[in-house]
Amino acid sequence: MLGLYIHVPFCAAICNYCNFNRGLFDADLKSRYVNALLEEIRRAGDSTPADTIFFGGGTPSMLEPDEIAAILDACRRSCALTPYAEISLEANPETVTPERLTAFRQGGINRLSFGVQSFRDEELQRLSRLHSASRAGEAFGMARGAGFDNISLDLMMWLPQQSVADWLESVDALIDVGPEHASLYLLEIYPNAPLRDAMARSRWSVAPDDDAAEMYLEAMRRLDAAGYGQYEISNVARPGRESRHNLKYWTDGAWLGFGPGAHSTRDGTRWRNVSATQEYISTVESGGQLAVERRILSRQDALEEALFTRLRLTAGIDLELVNSQYGVDVWREFGEELHRFVEAGLLIYDGGALRLTRAGMLLAHEVMTVFISSTVR
Ligand code: SF4
């Protein structure tokens, strides 16, 4: 089944580490964007059943509830949305109120993903986030009050000045709050990020690599103990609450992206929309071609991607499935090079699947390199 991704490119302020496709909120631009988005969805008309919708950003919770409802209505008219679809909205804690959350829920949103990032105020300030730790807790309580029973929280680790103990404080706070799902990401500071300058000015640094490894491993241990199941390198969930939408990205799924810069993958073809919001709007308004960089995935590209993404999952690479889809016996092809990772306790080969161990997840990129180097030969 299809997943639908809807990109909302507006934020109230730009965080100093952000590398996403977003811009400052502008009410007029937002209205034109919503109209363009509705038009793009209307034009898509697709009879393939879709069972997930994901509003990502940017800050999708800055849209008005009636705008979200109109977008969902357009999706229902244009695509064959299943009645039990998972419909997620990314939300920043400072943007929600009990009334807005109730209205989002009435409009059809049934899963929230809050960008909390940290439960420590000084870390949130270093990241130039607009919310405080207590506001994040309140937002979660408001969401529960509005009836949301499927909530995810994002945390970021390896922040400037963050010690292992600081990080674990946030992990424990998340466990206390008790969401159904959590994503733990390593902060990546891209070359021109304003955070880099702030770090130089304030002489902030990040903990040594060994500490970053301990942050990850201890966080996962505590989440295990609290009853969460890890299903992907960075994601854990209560049983049955894995993100159905994101699983499509990791299991060769098909999805259609709407909005500026949104990517789509379908029937072995991949494309993305023009990125700039203004250009996106004017292209839709003039009836022009939104898709750029359309390419048909070669069998080799598709195989590599299937191996990379499936290795991210704790279920690992189902060797029989890959063999039936791509006609490749992965162990016969790559086993010689993969063997050293098995010996080192980073990878498990049980005859039917290849899975990273927890320690192996820290070195996933090295293991994945085997698939590139071998396939390039
Ligand atoms: S809220 Fe998210 S998308 Fe917006 S600037 Fe901050 S990190 Fe980027």
What pLDDT sits at residue 46? 85
Measured in Å, residue 287 CA sits from the centre of ligand 1 at: 30
Q: What global pTM score does this model have?
A: 0.96
What is the bridge-based pairing of β-strands 2-8 and 254-258? parallel
Determine the residue of 7, 15, 89, 183 to mutate for testing ligand 1's pocket, defined as the one with the most ligand atoms within 8 A of the Cβ atom: 15
Model pLDDT for residues 242-266, shown as the tens digit of each residue: 999 999 999 989 999 999 999 999 9
Asked if residues 334 and 368 have their Cβ atoms less than 8 Å apart, the reply is: no
C-alpha dist (Å) from residue 365 to 158, 170, 362, 368: 18, 26, 8, 5
Indicate whether residue 58 lines ligand 1 (CB < 6 A). yes
Indicate whether residue 18 lines ligand 1 (CB < 6 A). yes
Measured in Å, residue 182 CA sits from the centre of ligand 1 at: 18
- How confident is residue 372, by pLDDT bands cut at 50, 70 and 90? confident
What pLDDT sits at residue 377? 44
For residues 186 and 334, give the distance between their C-alpha atoms in angstroms, rounded to a whole number: 29
Nearest to 156 by CA among 176, 136, 180: 136
What pLDDT sits at residue 374? 52
For residues 200 and 298, give the distance between their C-alpha atoms in angstroms, rounded to a whole number: 44
Closest ligand 1 atom to 129 CA:
6
Determine the residue of 7, 11, 90, 135 to mutate for testing ligand 1's pocket, defined as the one with the most ligand atoms within 8 A of the Cβ atom: 11
For residues 150 and 162, give the distance between their C-alpha atoms in angstroms, rounded to a whole number: 29
Closest ligand 1 atom to 17 CA:
7
Average pLDDT over residues 97-115: 98
Determine the residue of 17, 24, 59, 63 to mutate for testing ligand 1's pocket, defined as the one with the most ligand atoms within 8 A of the Cβ atom: 59
For every residue of 315-341, DSSP letters joined together read T-EEHHHHHHHH---HHHHHHHHHHHH
Model pLDDT for residues 304-319, shown as the tens digit of each residue: 999 999 999 999 999 9
Instruction: Give the position of tokens 């894995």.
Output: 242
pLDDT at 363 over 90: yes
Closest ligand 1 atom to 57 CA:
3
Partners of 351 in the β-ladder? none
Q: Which residues contact 211 (CB under 8 A, 6 or more apart)?
A: 163, 164
pLDDT at 218 over 70: yes
Nearest CA, atom 2, ligand 1? 58
For residues 373 and 377, give the distance between their C-alpha atoms in angstroms, rounded to a whole number: 7
Determine the residue of 10, 18, 19 to mutate for testing ligand 1's pocket, defined as the one with the most ligand atoms within 8 A of the Cβ atom: 18
For residues 46 and 80, give the distance between their C-alpha atoms in angstroms, rounded to a whole number: 7
Asked if residues 188 and 157 have their Cβ atoms less than 8 Å apart, the reply is: no
Indicate whether residue 107 lines ligand 1 (CB < 6 A). no
pLDDT at 219 over 90: yes
Indicate whether residue 95 lines ligand 1 (CB < 6 A). no
Indicate whether residue 11 lines ligand 1 (CB < 6 A). yes
Determine the residue of 8, 17, 22 to mutate for testing ligand 1's pocket, defined as the one with the most ligand atoms within 8 A of the Cβ atom: 22
- Strands lying side by side in the sheet with 2-8: 229-232, 235-237, 181-186, 151-157, 111-117, 79-91, 46-57, 2-8, 254-258, 263-266, 269-273, 291-296
For residues 185 and 19, give the distance between their C-alpha atoms in angstroms, rounded to a whole number: 14
Indicate whether residue 151 lines ligand 1 (CB < 6 A). no
The CA-based diameter of the chain, rounded to the nearest angstrom, is: 59
Nearest to 2 by CA among 67, 80, 97: 80
The mean pLDDT of the chain is: 96
What pLDDT sits at residue 376? 45
Nearest CA, atom 7, ligand 1? 18
Measured in Å, residue 145 CA sits from the centre of ligand 1 at: 26
- Both tokens assigned to 68: 């979200």
